[in-house]
Chains A and B, each alone.
Chain A
Amino acid sequence: MSPEQTEPHVPAQRTEEPDLSGAATTPAASPLLEVEDLKVHFPIRRGIVVERTVGHVQAVDGVGLSIDAGGTYGLVGESGCGKTTFGRAVLRLEEPTAGRVRLGGDEVTALKGERLRRFRSKMQMVFQDPLGSLNPRHNVDMLLSEPLKVHGVGSKAERRKLAVETLDAVGLPKSVLERFPHEFSGGQRQRLGIARALMLRPDLIVCDEPVSALDVSIQAQVMNLLDELQDEFGLTYLVIAHDLAVVRHLSDRVGVMYLGKLVEEADSETIYENPRHPYTKALLSAVPQPDPEVEATRERIILKGDLPSPANPPSGCRFRTRCPWAEDICAEVEPEWREAASGHKVACHFDL
């Protein structure tokens, strides 16, 4: 057994680089994850005897982003815009149609077989539905040890020790090891889901709607937990969620997706204070605030209609069928992904 197989991977980013510039208070972070022009197209098949491909669902259609080590990138957008598919493609749980994914400089998209399998331990996923993602017939001990077994890590005793440590980190007592998923509340199950993702001590965790199935008070517990674990284990997060307040709370950089593409990206603070893309503006204006005084005066941009089909996206700007500011050019020319201000990217023909 090679050394890296006998112990869980320790992310290199945990020891911070000394700050040589002297100017910045935080060291210049290097990207842990770099994604370039990622596409995932699903074939639409028809026919009973002979199946033929009649088109493609362009679930993800050219998304590029990078996440600094130790950072949190929040990906928001409406249902069906391609968030989950993007997250799965990053982890190679979905085969990308095109594009490149690099993790810590290694090209994930080029890996195959055993190397891919080993690489997977560096990237884990936390799912929306904690129950659906846990085998109901496995007790917690088995659920937590399984990823280690798959990767041939440690002896039985070592695996158990790690399981207990990890449970402790997510705020569950050792006594739950013998219990089964259905014996837990939603919030506890999500803690288990997080513990399972942590077992291999990954560098990157993709959290797909980590709190949306939970009650309000439990959501806050889990969000705080994700925060704590990030510091404790030096984690980098890609948080996928449709709740803009959740994403703002967790992320330091935010990307807004619409119909398979990013339409805007900026620092969390900037994007919420100064949204530039019409879709981002509409999304933000649609979130009801828990304050009747604010609600009484909140200006809403009510969008018409629904998300168009990703199998047949509108020409030009994909948002044009719902955009209150659309003009003729929007149907003809696709807006380029441009840097409208330092660190603030947007795909719209206009400066609104």
Chain B
Amino acid sequence: MALLEVEDLRVAFGASTAVDGVSFSVDEGKVVGLVGESGCGKSVTSLAIMGLLPKGRGRRTREPVQAAAAEPVDSGLKVAASAPQAVAASGGRGRRGGADVQGRAAFDGTDLLSLSPAAMRRRRGKDLAMVFQDPLSSLNPVVPIGRQITEVLERHRGLKGDKASKEAASLLDRVGIPDPLRRLKEYPHQLSGGMRQRVLIAIAVACAPRLLIADEPTTALDVTIQAQILELLKDLVETEGTALLMITHDLGVVAGICDEVNVLYSGRVVESAPVRELFRKPTHPYTVGLLGSIPRLDLPIHEPLTPIRGSIADVIRWRDGCAFAPRCDKVAAPCVDGEPALVGAVHAHRCVMAEEVA
């Protein structure tokens, strides 16, 4: 049994569906990727699994950083408080109204989606943890980073005082931050973007979670720093057997770190395969289009790019046909005749025109 099994996950905000029946699983010691363009539902999927989506109607969907800072220092809460910002930043634009979440996300057999908020809070940070794209808004700006780490250690591992500080320093050391004792006393703004991301990873791995969700963890970083962070994540997976759900739009990152890949389009998985399979035999026209859109250092210079036409705004509803049809070069009559199904097991695709694969 996989450590995380997501089955038919659906998330709607009012009348709009953000995630539309997504299923995948993540094994211990494996890296599974969720890939796709902005707005396809990557972040909403991960926030749903973490129980960080605003629930019910009329609740606040956004909490300013200041409000979180005024609360007693609690990194667990801080993560919870900052998540809606991540939602807002990811395209929600602070719209009010909660998310309607359906389906299953079984973690080691327990459905996370049916846990109470309190039970979920106890697991967050301990069993499963998350790293966000924007490290600055995920850290509390007025609390030294040392305290933000020791808080988690105290909360989930019962470490206090000197012991906690020592452990915090060793965590910083482990994520490659030089001079950790000095850095512990510093505030987030005193660190570079790469260092902040490493601090977040240090916090995320402080309690040796069995599942780590990383939402575009290197998108805001330079390539040399990205390389450091990716090495760090790979090392975690290899040495600790952590399961990693890697969310990214970068196919290079996917090729470098993932074992399995799910390509998302408009809230649905359109292709899923083991990583080598996917790159060797991309089958869905969207995947093919993505690969044709990126300039590559390993191909002859000035090789023409073959972009996908239009934009993600050009969609039709899945129930009317293939949502990708308005942008697809292979579109034909069957494509707009009802829902295309995901076919295949190991290498699956959702395209009525593609030939059967694996």
Contacts and interface: CB of A to CB of B under 8 A. Distances in A.
A282 B178 CA distance: 20
B308 to A, nearest CB: 4
Contact of B255 (A220, A282, A284, A290): A290
B110 to A, nearest CB: 33
B297 A284 contact: yes
B227 A290 contact: no
B306 interface: yes
A306 B309 CA distance: 38
A79 interface: yes
B255 A291 contact: yes
B311 interface: yes
Interface stretch (B63-71, B129-137, B245-253, B349-357): B245-253
Interface stretch (B145-153, B191-199, B205-213, B333-341): B191-199
A290 B296 contact: yes
Contacts of A283: 223-224
B223 A217 contact: no
Interface string B291-314: 111111110011111111101110
Contacts of B251: 216, 290
A263 to B, nearest CB: 13
Contacts of A219: 293-294, 307
Interface stretch (A6-14, A202-210, A244-252): A244-252
Nearest to A79: B222
Given A220-B305, A268-B301, A289-B252, A306 B192 contact: yes
Interface string A224-262: 100000000000000000101110110000000000000
A55 interface: no
B68 to A, nearest CB: 26
A328 interface: no
Interface in A260-298: 268-269, 272, 282-295, 298
B101 to A, nearest CB: 26
Name, among B231, B275, B307, B309, the residue most crowded by chain A CB atoms within 10 Å (CB to CB): B307
Contacts of B292: 220
Contacts of A293: 276, 279
Contacts of B254: 290
B37 interface: yes
Interface residues of B, number: 49
A36 B313 CA distance: 45
A287 B298 CA distance: 11
Nearest to A322: B224
B294 A187 contact: no
A283 B37 CA distance: 25
Nearest to B308: A217
A218 interface: yes
A220 B253 contact: no
A216 B37 contact: yes
A288 B295 contact: no
B193 A216 contact: no
Given A78-B222, A292-B276, A287 B252 contact: yes
A220 B251 CA distance: 14
A307 B298 CA distance: 27
B296 A269 contact: no
Interface in B184-220: 192-195
Given A185-B311, A188-B311, A300-B227, A223 B305 contact: yes
Contact of B256 (A246, A249, A295): A295
A343 interface: no
A286 B224 contact: yes
B296 A245 contact: yes
B102 interface: no
A292 B281 CA distance: 12
Contacts of B312: 185, 215
A290 B301 CA distance: 16
A305 interface: yes
A303 interface: yes
B225 interface: yes
Contacts of B297: 244-245, 248, 272, 284, 287, 289
A221 interface: yes
Contacts of A291: 255, 279, 296, 298
Contact of A79 (B193, B298, B301, B306): B193
Contact of B37 (A79, A215, A268): A215
A272 B222 CA distance: 18
Interface in A179-218: 185-188, 215-218
Nearest to A245: B295
A186 B313 CA distance: 10
Contacts of B290: 216-217
A300 B229 CA distance: 13
B17 interface: no
A246 B294 CA distance: 8
B90 interface: no
A302 interface: yes
A272 B301 contact: yes
A224 B292 CA distance: 12
Given A216-B37, A220-B294, A307-B192, A287 B307 contact: no
Contacts of B226: 286, 288
Interface of A: 78-79, 185-188, 215-221, 223-224, 242, 244-246, 248-249, 268-269, 272, 282-295, 298, 300, 302-307
Please provide the 7 A-B residue pairs with the shortest distance between their CB atoms, ordered closest to farther. A288-B252, A220-B307, A249-B295, A220-B293, A217-B308, A290-B251, A286-B227
Given A185-B312, A302-B227, A304-B178, 17 more contacts: A215-B312, A217-B37, A219-B293, A224-B307, A245-B294, A245-B296, A286-B227, A287-B223, A287-B252, A288-B227, A289-B296, A290-B279, A290-B294, A291-B296, A291-B298, A295-B256, A306-B225
Interface of B: 37-38, 178, 192-195, 222-228, 230-231, 249-256, 275-276, 279, 289-298, 301-309, 311-313
6 contacts: A78-B225, A217-B37, A288-B227, A288-B256, A295-B255, A302-B231
